[in-house]
Amino acid sequence: MIKRKKVVKILKYIKQGQTIGIIGGGQLGQMLALDAKENGMKVLVLDPNPTCSAGQVADAQIVAAYDDFAALQQLAKQADVVTYEFENVDLAALEKLEKTIWLPQGTELLKITKNRLTEKTFLKEQGLDVVDFCEVNDEQELKQAVKKIGYPCILKTCEGGYDGKSQVNINDSADLNEAGKLLRQRKCILEGWLDFSLECSVMVARNLAGEITVFPVSENIHRNHILHLSIVPARIAENLQQVAKQAAVKIAKSLDLCGVLGVEMFVGKDGRVYINELAPRPHNSGHYSIEACDFSQFAIHNRAICGWPLPQITLLKPVVMVNVLGQHVCAIKKLIQTKPSWHFHDYGKDQALLDRKMGHVTILTDDLDKTLVEIEETKVWSD
């Protein structure tokens, strides 16, 4: 059972003109900063990259590593409220600062979601459906866990790794050697393989007054473990959409959430909704909300951490969001000339590397199937 520190969070109202501090300077921080500026806030970013995406649109940036305690103290002094835009920030440093910094998300949320074993255990304790899993510390435990869970299964590091990194698919005993190499690097979790019909996610948000708002269910299609596109509303039955939303709300309440949380899910072929992972911040699959909803996930996150009331979200129009990776950039620039109704987002990253997220495209539509065909016909994403 997970032992959780009881934290009493006070209500605090951040006014227009005050400063939001963002730990992390990636595209999520950039879009948080853009919304904050629209709403009259000042933005201070902490990131080691002097040309990071968020720093390009912020009022100022502290160029420092995430575990630089002096830099974090500087951020705390200059910002009226602090948030983090990804979970691989330095937890120990934030815990040390928590008494002097206004961090409405808190560190308990981060502690649970940074570790896959802790996260899966938490979800199971909430009575939510998850795949079978086992803690694995050495190769002997790996063999025992595989025997218990069965083939196929997936070995993942408990911490770190994203977009399919730091994990090994184990289809039979021949894969155990490769899995052992990963296990020797760090502590792992073994997860059972789920026969699913669809991947989806729900963005849910809560403020410290207890107000909760839920975004529509997004249907997500991945390529090489990287999100390729999101379709909203998800093409699943209404009752399954309600189950997914209810699960997200339950998780938000259980975590005493403040801000936005991305809840990644599988719809199993058995008709049940399984929770896969949690993201304690805005999520790639929620980018569609900038154009397709009356409030974006970034606007809602900022409102929540600033103590503003939360509206109920309305989907204005069906939408498809497509990721732009490094190998797509040149073709996308040409596509701008032929797709006047598409929304093109560029994160301003300096190097267009293979499989690196460089931007996204949002397409509002009255015909999802027709739009999916249109995307394929461009040949941009045919790599």
| DSSP, residue by residue, 133-158 | EEEE-SHHHHHHHHHHH-SSEEEEES
* Residue-level pLDDT at 202: 98
Give the helix ranges, DSSP H, for the chain.
27-38, 69-78, 91-97, 108-113, 116-125, 139-149, 176-185, 238-254, 289-292, 297-305, 329-335, 368-377
Q: In what order do the strands lie in the sheet with 167-170?
A: 133-136, 188-192, 153-157, 167-170
Output the furthest CA–CA distance in the chain (Å, rounded): 60
Nearest-angstrom CA–CA distance, 37 and 41: 5
3-state secondary structure 165-228: CCEEEECCHHHHHHHHHHHHHCCEEEEECCCEEEEEEEEEEECCCCCEEECCCEEEEEECCEEE
Q: For residues 297 and 281, is the Cβ–Cβ distance under 8 A?
A: no
- pLDDT of the chain, 383 residues: tens digit per residue: 655 555 556 789 999 999 999 999 999 999 999 999 999 999 999 999 999 999 999 999 999 999 999 999 999 999 999 999 988 788 999 999 888 889 999 999 999 999 999 999 999 999 999 999 999 999 999 999 999 999 999 999 998 766 567 899 999 999 998 998 999 888 999 999 999 999 999 999 999 999 999 999 999 999 998 999 999 999 999 999 999 999 999 999 999 999 999 999 999 999 999 999 999 999 999 999 999 999 999 999 999 999 999 999 999 999 999 999 999 999 999 999 999 999 999 999 999 999 999 999 999 999 999 999 999 999 999 97
Q: What would the two tokens of residue 327 be?
A: 């190998």
* Residue-level pLDDT at 160: 78
Q: For residues 292 and 192, is the Cβ–Cβ distance under 8 A?
A: no
For tokens 């928590």, name the residue.
98
* Residue-level pLDDT at 2: 58
Nearest-angstrom CA–CA distance, 94 and 20: 16
Predicted model pTM: 0.95
Domain spanning 196-377: CATH superfamily: ATP-grasp fold, B domain (3.30.470.20)
152 cis-preceded (ω within 30 degrees of 0): yes
* Residue-level pLDDT at 381: 96
Where does 132-192 sit in CATH, by number? 3.30.1490.20
Q: What would the two tokens of residue 4 be?
A: 């959780």
Q: For residues 184 and 177, is the Cβ–Cβ distance under 8 A?
A: no
Nearest-angstrom CA–CA distance, 278 and 126: 14
Nearest-angstrom CA–CA distance, 281 and 348: 21
Domain boundaries, the chain: 19-111, 132-192, 196-377
Could you confirm whether domain 19-111 is CATH 3.40.50.20?
yes
* Residue-level pLDDT at 6: 57
* Residue-level pLDDT at 10: 74
* Residue-level pLDDT at 11: 84
